[in-house]
Amino acid sequence: MTTVALYRILIPGHAEALHPAITDVVVETFIEFATRRLASGAFGQLYQEALVYWVAHCIQVSPGFVTGEDAVSPMEVGPLTQVKDDTFQRGYGQVNIDPSVSHTDQALMNTWYGRKYLDIRNSRTSTMPQAVQVGIISGTG
């Protein structure tokens, strides 16, 4: 399965019918850029899924692609804390700033897609190096 096809399955909120600016060409372009930034060896069999969620996060926060009620800048608001149905209202918490977490990871934590990417990156099934014993580094997977 192509990465674009997997993207369309895993990220239905970015369907062209909902957001016409998110065409397959846009997704392919973001995927191409992502392949230059994310090392396949770090994710093993989960590389394609990691690409999809990283790209979905990048598209979600890029101005002009997601519009209307779904357009929220995670740089300005924290996590969704409240939703009302009558007149549709959202409430957001404060953006948590944790000095022990990198700026990039903090940004990723502000979208569902970014959190899914971090889950994959931080999972034991990825092949990120882990210390086996002092002085020896070994990859898993």
pLDDT value at residue 130: 47
Number of domains the chain contains: 1
pLDDT in tens, 102-130: 777 878 888 889 999 999 998 866 555 54
Q: Is residue 16 part of a domain?
A: yes
Any domain includes 110: yes
Q: Which two tokens stand for residue 42?
A: 């770090």
Predicted TM-score (pTM) of the model is: 0.69
89 within domain boundaries = no
Q: Is the pLDDT of residue 131 over 50?
A: no
Residues contacting 22, CB < 8 A, separation 6+? 14, 15, 16, 59, 65, 66
80 located within any domain: no
Is residue 115 situated within a structural domain?
A: yes
109 found inside a domain: yes
Q: Domain limits at 42?
A: 3-74+103-138
Helix, strand and coil content of the chain, in percent to the nearest 5, comes to 45, 10, 40
Whether 83 maps to a domain, the answer reads no
In a domain, 93, yes or no: no
Instruction: Give tens-digit pLDDT for 5-62.
Output: 999 999 999 999 888 999 999 999 999 999 999 988 889 899 999 999 999 999 998 8
Q: Which amino acid is at 48?
A: Q
Which residues, listed in sequence order, are joined to residue 83 by a DSSP beta bridge?
90
- Distance from C-alpha of 23 to C-alpha of 19, rounded to nearest angstrom: 8
